[in-house]
Amino acid sequence: MADPADRLTIEQQLGQTFVAGFWGTTPSADILDLIRRRHVGSVILFSRNLRSAAQTLELTSALQDAARAAGHPAPLLIMTDQENGLVRRLGPDATRFPGNMALGAAGSERLARDVAAATGRELAALGVNMNLAPVVDVNNNPDNPVIGVRSFGEDPRLVASLGAAAVEGYAAAGVVATLKHFPGHGATTTDSHLALPVIPATPDRLGRLELVPFVRGIAAGAACVLIAHVALPALTPSGDDPLPASLSPAVVHGLLRERLGFGGVAVTDCLEMDAVSAGVGVARGAVLALQAGNDLVMVSHRIDRQTPALDAMLAAARSGEIPAGRLREAAGRVLRLKRHLAWDRLPDARGLEVVGSAEHRRLAAEAYAASATLIRDRDGLLPLRLDPAARLLVIRVPSRAITQAADDPFASDTLLDAVCRYHPGAEAALLSPGTSPAEAEDAVRRASEADAVLLVTVDVSRDPERRALAQRIAAAAPRVVGIAAGVPYDAAAVPAGAYLAAYEYTPPALEATLAVVFGRATAPGRLPVTLA
């Protein structure tokens, strides 16, 4: 059978290997030029692009119209990071589903599969045919600044089983699933958005831990794997200047292709992240990424980086620095991935009824209820029963180091409103990451004067100053019920008498947890990580 890339020019082949993002809720002049003139065949969307279901479908349809009019051999891959939980790109019309660690606490393959299938149905209805999910990193480092609750947990077998179930769910919805972040980002202490993390893992350790979910996900049919910007000196020795896995032939070709036998599409994480842009640079990184064995090179944000990257790739292809066979192989893999797409089967407005449907909302409520986790209740505080006149103070203490991957804001009003449904007249001290010393002192004083405190923490275990503040509040109040609305490691850092894990600060997660606090529901979830 002829390679589908054989009929394309070098420029067209390169376009099929490139993923570009843009700014705005309608196609920008820059993205249209990349699609029409540079033959770019894949587009990534972020929350900045997506406002409503109708607008999203109009946007994706316009992008596909531009590609079709430009003579593309197949529809665009249109992708996003709809991981659910705290990392979600779709607008308010879409169903809010729990993120990975909440699903890890529920521990149900069926729920993981059903949530992925429902997410996939909503994406497909909106014209998004590829999801950069599921995250299958094993979060075995409590200090990890970028993965945390995006992981199913610390047990590679649990991560593998739920990740494989998610792959199956996306496949059932006709959406391409992407295993990430290969070969594993869970043990890092550095955010690759900001610098290059180094993982001192041996090949044996990788095989026993990090690679387990990738092996299972590939066996389940994952068609795409996203390569992380992490350095593995044991696999890519390069002196004092370690090479990111995303640019390393030893990782992409040697580990992923040869050792794991993966024949699908390998895509880089965004080359604009500082792990690459502050090192070899975006343009040079694009050339190295294609040389290393990646099939899709992602530059998500800036046209002043996208154009030089494409220029550098074209120059390298013409000079032979990127061998003709390597370019043809990459473009061919992408086009084979697009075989299930067709110009006459693109979605239209008739399919939008699935977005935010009652069936999906019921599934989300079931999954959130199954994830609610009671970590401890050593003082017998739960269920919290207060005299109607009792002073209940809700205090939020967030970390100043929440990952850049999360773009879902904390719904402060929703939290207080939810508490007031159980205890009318509850008061709040909703501190921000930039809380002043005076505000912090006022929160401690108010905690000491309250009859009970609901202390909602967000990743304070990784922020010494905010951790100390939460500890002072817990020591000052007579009765304290803690809710970890991020990583559950907060419960080990803050000595509240009772602590629950919500795993995220989304309204449905907090509402499911509050139902346990006030005795309206049980807490069936089990911690998917170990607390020190």
Residue 358 CB: number of other CB atoms within 10 A?
A: 8
Mean pLDDT across the stretch 498-513? Answer: 96
pTM for the model stands at 0.95
Q: For residue 143, give Cα distances in angstroms to 186, 203, 487.
A: 10, 23, 10
Q: Evaluate whether 16-354 and 373-517 have a shared fold.
A: no
Mean pLDDT, to the nearest integer, of 24-49? 98
Domain boundaries, the chain: 16-354, 373-517
How long a stretch of residues is the chain? 532
Q: What is the pLDDT of residues 429-455, one digit of tens each?
A: 999 888 899 999 999 999 999 999 999
- Tell me: the pLDDT tens digits for 281-333? 999 999 999 999 999 999 999 999 999 999 999 999 999 999 999 999 999 99
CA distance 291 to 268: 12
Q: Is the pLDDT of residue 195 over 80?
A: no
Location of structure tokens 């640079």 = 281
Q: Provide the annotated active-site residues.
A: 193, 269
Say yes or no to pLDDT of 411 above 80: no
Q: What percentage of the chain reaches a pLDDT higher than 90?
A: 85
Whether 513 contacts 498, CB under 8 Å: no
Which CATH fold would you assign to the domain 373-517?
Rossmann fold (3.40.50)
Phi and psi, residue 244, nearest 5°: -60, 145
**Among 3.30.565.10, 3.20.20.300, 2.60.40.10, 3.40.50.300, what is the CATH number of 16-354?**
3.20.20.300
Return d(Cα 374, Cα 381) in angstroms, integer: 12
> What token pair was written down for 205?
């350790």
What are the tens digits of pLDDT across the range 104-113? 999 999 999 9
